Chains A and B, each alone.
Chain A
Amino acid sequence: MSSIAAPPPGAAAAPPPSPAPAPRPEKGVRPRSARDLADRFFRGGARGAGVTVLAIMVAVGLFLSLQATDAVREAGWSFFTTEEWAPGAGGFGIAAVLFGTVMIALVAITIAVPLALGTALYISEYAPRGLKQTLVNAVDLMAAVPSVVYGLWGLFLLQPYLMVEGEQGNGIPRWLSTWFGWIPIFRVDGVNRDDPLSTASVYTSSTLIAGIVVAMMVTPIACSVMREVFDQAPIGEREGAYALGATRWGMIRAVVLPFGRGGIIGGTMLGLGRALGETIGVYMIISPIFEVQWQILENGAISISSLIALRYGDASPFGMSALMAAGMTLFLVTLVVNFTASTIVARSRSGAESEV
């Protein structure tokens, strides 16, 4: 009885589960397969876009290096040590142009970092609350101003009126070279302060003036990265510092600056990357020379990007290849700088939001 009674419940219990799983896949298979198909298309399409972008980016490096091989094979290691640029006729190398690029970028960064740091601190710590958003917008807008506008400002206002004024070249470069000429980078050859016939032209088109123009372009970018990071300094730690009796500057030194160190370094590096690659602002200001120029106040400077803008027009195929090699060098240098910057910003406590 019990053995007879036992099987029916077991049999009755067994069939319901067995039909239940059977229709469920059947019910689920069609929609799920359609869904799978659509999703597979979606993922495939998205991955395709990713591959395309990757391909474009790889192509940039590939084409530049392919085109550059001719020149680099011809020049060999002297490519890195030669100062002149005469492909076809004589030697050519990036010693002078790379040095000039780095020099202009360093001058720019030296000016830009205090400006950016101060402005970022002002916006995040000192500005009245009502004014803050306006200032943020103003600085961001400054980052969006085209570089040719800064170039025009540098060429027509900064150089003739703010820096090198009048026949004698009165202004900060002359002042610096007169009183600080004993420091090698401030030396200007061939001028005598008391010579009434001295002309302003020794001081124009210098690394310093190009550097100031580039500084104007990179300051807003560095500033906005720094401000983003400063804004995220934890409020509890700020209040803690105040509660312990710190002044505002004491609070900034104890909380905001240590917290924002990653942002400060990252913003600086980002600005440096931009400064290395800046073309038209530098090209409008400088008068090109092809030698290693230590003296930042003296007429004459060069950078890789302005070299390309200067020489691409009348370049032979071989000359073009040499320019490609120079461009490739610039590309690699900015790549290294930017990688470092993004690593540092990402490693600080706030990476994702620090967006230019």
Chain B
Amino acid sequence: MPLGTLQFTIDGITVQTQEGQSLIAACDAAGLYIPRLCYHPDLRPAGNCRVCTCRIDGHQAAACVTPVRDGMVVENDTPQLNADRLALIEMMFVEGNHPCPYCVASGDCELQALGYRLGMTAPVYPFFWPRHEIDASHPDIFLDRERCIACSRCIEASRMPDGKSVFSYEGRGIAMHLHVDGWGGLGATQMAAIDKAAHVCPVACIVIRRDGYRIPNGQRRFDKTPIGTDIEARRKAPPS
């Protein structure tokens, strides 16, 4: 085994990876899908949503912020872990307002797609029905905080690739919400439609104006194959 290479098992499958990789990145490269929401491969992991939680050497930990160790034993696709993930997804659905039937992101939404993949069929918890005004002050982007799941992807993207710090959180606990750095809303910030932060939202909180519904039904990201299929295809593809 080359120097710097580590080996671990996940659901009984042996995976080799390089030192310094996170568990979720190593599994992505190996074609093994770990469900996730806040994790984005181009951004620094935050461990916010806990959907990627796996059982690692007998303890539960978020795969996005756990570095791979040599010889670690990981459980990922188990009934209990998937039930826990489903509960997390259900809670996210009721904490915000997610009207999938008419949402501009339907078919392209990672929260909705994960709900389908994990078998969510009906709401279990009572709805919170939060009230948030749309921030339509920006000419090219609108902000619909009713959809926000507090993943922090936009915060991270705005700080690092964009170098702008447009977004942050304000408030604590259940009252925490997405804040923009500008009196008068998003239109008063340096945000631009080409920014990375405008394109990493997993739901429909940050939306490019007037682009909605341009892609027909049946032709969106998750219309034909479940979320994670692209990652799993890497494992199934024949060696080149």
Query: Do A and B share a complex?
Result: no
Which residues of A come within 8 Å of B, CB atoms?
none
